[in-house]
Amino acid sequence: MKKIIDIVINNMREDYISEVVDLSDREFGTGYISRKDVMNSINYSKHTLKVAILNQEVIGFYLGWVVEKNNIPSKLNIPSNLLPLEFKETKQIAVLKSIVVSEKFQGLGVGSKLIKSCIDDFYDKGIQTISTVAWKSKMGINIEGPISRLNFKPVLEIKDYWKDVSKNYSCPECKTPPCRCSAVIYVTKKL
């Protein structure tokens, strides 16, 4: 049977900032998530960042945003003409923007618990539509298993999604910029 570890999920605090940025640098590439992005999650109510704690160490986190309908194309970097129907029918959506688990704790259920916590938080806030931008590299979609089990469905694939922003960081799969990975936009809705 698959091994599962017990974690505590906490709200973001200033004393976690360095661990969160270090973890993001290691798994996504240095500079992908900045200290400012992390600070925004403490100071700005539309951003949520929660951490997975094991033995007082940050071993994972998710970053989510609440996005008003008019801002979806710019915040999700989706051309307006490709906007999936699911986003046209709602006033605002929540976006699971980034999720990461420290390499030595991957495959132990931490990511699935973080995603479940993210969904519960957004549904509690009354948001009915949740989207995520899944990273699709040459290796496939790392997060596919956990999000599919939590009822997310793919609605759109965008090639070279990080090509422009990747001038500022190195994708762990593509190494030298630009990043040529795709994003697959997934959506789930409260039943």
Residue 142 touching ligand COA (CB under 6 A): yes
Question: For ligand COA, which residue of 87, 135, 152, 169 counts as binding (CB under 6 A)?
Answer: 135
Report if residue 90 touches ligand COA, rule: CB under 6 A.
Answer: no
Q: How far is the CB of 34 from ligand COA (least distance, A)?
A: 17
Q: Does 108 bind ligand COA (CB under 6 A)?
A: yes
Residue 140 CB coordination number (10 Å): 9
Stretch that binds ligand COA, among 63-71, 85-93, 134-142, 163-171 (CB under 6 A): 134-142
Q: Which of 68, 74, 145, 190 binds ligand COA (CB under 6 A)?
A: 145
Pairwise CA distance, residues 82 & 184, whole Å: 13
Angle at 66 between CA 62 and CA 68, to 5 degrees: 155
Minimal distance, residue 144 CB to ligand COA, in Å: 7
When asked if residue 100 is in the footprint of ligand COA (CB under 6 A), the reply is yes
Task: Work out how close the CB of 127 gets to ligand COA at its nearest, in angstroms, rounded to a whole number.
Answer: 20
The answer to whether 71 contacts ligand COA (rule: CB under 6 A) is no
Residue 166 Cβ vs ligand COA, minimum distance, rounded to whole Å: 14
- DSSP for residue 104: G
Three-class secondary structure of residue 185 per DSSP? strand
Residue 76 touches ligand COA, criterion: CB under 6 A: no
| Neighbouring C-beta atoms of residue 138, cutoff 10 Å | 8
Q: Bridge partners of 63?
A: 49, 98
- Kindly report the backbone phi and psi dihedral angles of residue 185, in degrees, each rounded to the nearest multiple of 5, phi listed first: -85, 120
- 174 within 8 A of 181, measured Cβ to Cβ: yes
Which of 36, 24, 59 lies closest to 169 in space, CA to CA?
24
Residues lying near ligand COA in the complex (CB under 6 A):
27, 99-101, 106-112, 134-135, 142-143, 145-146
